[in-house]
Structures are given as structure tokens and as C-alpha cells.
Amino acid sequence: MEKGVLSAVAMIALFSGSLGCAPGAASDAPNRTRFKATWPDPDRPRVTLSWEFPATGGIVVRPGAEIELSIIPPQPQNAAADSMVRLEGEWDASRASVADKSLAIFAPRKPGVYRVAHSYKIGAETVTDRFTLFVALRAEVAGGGKFGEVSVEGEKLGTYYTPQRAVREKVRRHADAYGVPEWFIRFDEADSGVRLTPTYTLGDLYPREARNEPPREHPEPPSLHLALDYNMLLKLEALTEELRDLKLLKGKLALTSAYRSPIYNASIESGHYSRHMYGDAVDFAIDEDSDPRQYMDDVDGDGRVDRRDLILIARVVRRLEAAGRVREGGCGIYERRSGGKSIDGYIHMDARGHHATWGYTVDVKTEKADGDITWERERPDA
């Protein structure tokens, strides 16, 4: 086969028979297509990922990656003749119409956004659900070195520093965890509704500190390109499911930021080696009570929003790590205070691969840390 035109080959018609109900399918989009994808982790190609997405799923893949995609039609299933699958975008060797509902496809070689569209009829109306392939872009390091100024598609993201020269001994000791992220996708508002996990959309994962109240003094805009580590996405999804099981969460976590470019990260005064720059960190609160300020909720129900609500959630993160269900990482709590009183807070969680813990009180007016919270001992070997 000609190199670079491997596309939409090996069609397998697993769905040619009966199209019964899909047991276990989540109920949040009962009348839409579900997409079950199996694909290699772009950062760790030997690791196979598999998720079932409602209606708007999407995955990040390396150019040319091999993907399995099952299209699970909505219930009740319409006549097969009314259902059509096609590839949208400039695929290497596009197929105008794909009849099968289970596809083995090779991602295009050219980075960009591609879609698999499933159209079907509900009554007289034709509905189309799309699955998105983000074929990732490779980061460039100025001068071709391992660290330094990094750009993607001409956008300067800022400087990634050599971990061996870090002031903190812990960064030097875990230098392997501080490599420049290799694969990026470009944020486009049009894709913000695409779910990158069964729960969270690309828009949820785009930084929003710059919209905080009060605003930062000199925030740079977030970069258009972002790196998202699947260890973090898996951890985020696992935590979400666990919190729902524990009745501490109904829908989803309120995310403040995931990837931050070094330029953006510096502009909000975050550290030189913040895990956000490596794409495996997320900041979040639980905010489901519709308060107009979008503050953290009183999740433990004691009538106050304070560090205890944050610690309750952070301990769930630690239990998932201890059970081996998610990759180990950093967990920090930030209790936001106004006039000496706790009013809000958020949690940082990452998947750096080793244990790190911290807690601060933060003044809501200055966004500066003004005290420590010890909620867990740092492990001696950490």
C-alpha cells in the first residue's frame, strides 16, 4: 500500500446483524449515536486506550495511528438504509460513504481535525453525530535541543527549562517527568463541545483563569495549542465517576485549567515547573449549586465552604491512587479567603507519576498565598 494513503481500510461489519439495545450505555444522551474508540496513547503508543463517548466524542492521536471505531446507533434503531457513515475532512484516501458501523481506520498523516459522521433519521428529520480525530502536531524546540523555547505551528509557547537545573531537588530527582510535551492539538472554539473523555469537552479543558474574578493584572491569553496527557484525562474521569458514586457530585467537576503554555503559566505567576505545562494537571472545584459567583460548594454539608470540603475531595484522589486505579501524582488544595473568612477553594490534581502534596490559603483579592494548610504528610521517599 502506498505510504501516506492508509485510510479507512479493513472495514469490519460487526454490526451487520441485529442492532439490539446497548446494555450499560450511559443515559445522558439516550437518543444519539455512541462511539466506542480504541486507539494508542499518543504519548505512550504501546498503551491502548478505549472509551465509549456519547454523540460528540473525540480522540487525540499521532499521525497515521491505527484506530478502531464502533458506531452504536441510537435506540430504537432505524432502518439500516437510513443510516450512513462517512468521513469528513481531507482524509488521505477518503471514502465518500462507509456503510459499516465498525471501522478500522488509520489516522491521516497530515495533522488536523477530521471527523467520522453518522447520519440517521428520526421521523422525517436527518440527524448527524460526529466523532472527531485530532491528529496531533509535533512541538518544535528552538535550536533542536531537548529544552528551551518551544513552538507549535509557529505559535510560541514559551520556555521549558531543563529539570536538572531546577532549584527544587525533587524536580531534579524526577527529571524524566519534565520533558517537553511532544504532541499538541490546536484549540478551535468550533471544537469546544467535542468530548475528549466521556464527560469532559475540549472547552472544559481550556484555561479560564483569565476570566476569573477579580481578573489577573497582566494575564497573557492562553495559547491556542495545548498538550493533554491521557494519564490525566483517565484520572479526571475516574475521579468524576468515583465522586458520583459517593454522591459528592452529580454532573461534572468545574475545571479551571488543564494545559498551560509556559508563557501563559508565567503570566498567572505559576511555578517554573508547573505540571500544567506538561499537560497532566487539572485545577477544579465542585460547583453545582448555581451560586452566581461560581464558587466551590459546601460538599460536606456543614454549612460552610472551607478547607474541609477540599480535603474531603483530595482524599478521594488519594484513595484512587492507593487502589492503583489512577496514576500517582500531585494533589494540592487552595482555600480562598476574603477578610479572613473562607469562601471558596479549588483543588489541583496531576498525574506526574510520583507523590506530591501541598495546601495554601489564598487571598481572593490578591490571589497570593498567605498561609499553609497541612492536610497530608509528604511521604519520606517523595
Nearer to Ca ion, 97 or 290 (CB): 290
Give the C-alpha distances (Å, rounded to integers) separating 276 from 105, 226, 238. 32, 10, 19
**Least distance to Ca ion, CB of residue 297, Å:** 4
Buried b (16+ CB within 10 A) or exposed e, 61-78: bbbbbbbbbbbbbbeebb
Among 280, 297, 335, 344, binds Ca ion (CB under 5 A): 297
Number of residues that bind Ca ion (CB under 5 A): 10
Positions 232 through 291 that interact with Ca ion (CB under 5 A): 287, 289, 291
Buried b (16+ CB within 10 A) or exposed e, 38-47: ebbbbbeeee
Specify burial of residue 247 (Cβ count, 10 A radius: 0-12, 13-18, 19+): exposed
Nearer to Ca ion, 301 or 380 (CB): 301
Contact status: 363 vs Ca ion (CB under 5 A): no
Cell of 22: 446497548
In sequence order, the β-bridge partners of residue 88 are 115
Contact status: 295 vs Ca ion (CB under 5 A): yes
**Least distance to Ca ion, CB of residue 59, Å:** 31
Measure the CA–CA gap between 107 and 257, rounded to whole angstroms.
Answer: 28
**Farthest-apart Cα atoms in the chain, separation:** 69
**Least distance to Ca ion, CB of residue 284, Å:** 12
**Under 8 Å CB-to-CB from 231, ≥6 apart: which residues?**
280, 326, 327, 351, 353
Contact status: 344 vs Ca ion (CB under 5 A): no
Measure the CA–CA gap between 160 and 276, rounded to whole angstroms.
Answer: 12
Among 100, 140, 298, 363, binds Ca ion (CB under 5 A): 298
**Least distance to Ca ion, CB of residue 233, Å:** 24
Contact status: 309 vs Ca ion (CB under 5 A): yes
Positions 60 through 79 that interact with Ca ion (CB under 5 A): none
Among 100, 300, 367, 376, binds Ca ion (CB under 5 A): 300
**Least distance to Ca ion, CB of residue 373, Å:** 14
**Under 8 Å CB-to-CB from 228, ≥6 apart: which residues?**
60, 185, 196, 205, 258, 259, 279
**Least distance to Ca ion, CB of residue 265, Å:** 26
Nearer to Ca ion, 188 or 289 (CB): 289
Nearer to Ca ion, 80 or 312 (CB): 312
Q: Which residues bind Ca ion (CB under 5 A)?
A: 287, 289, 291, 295, 297-298, 300, 302, 304, 309
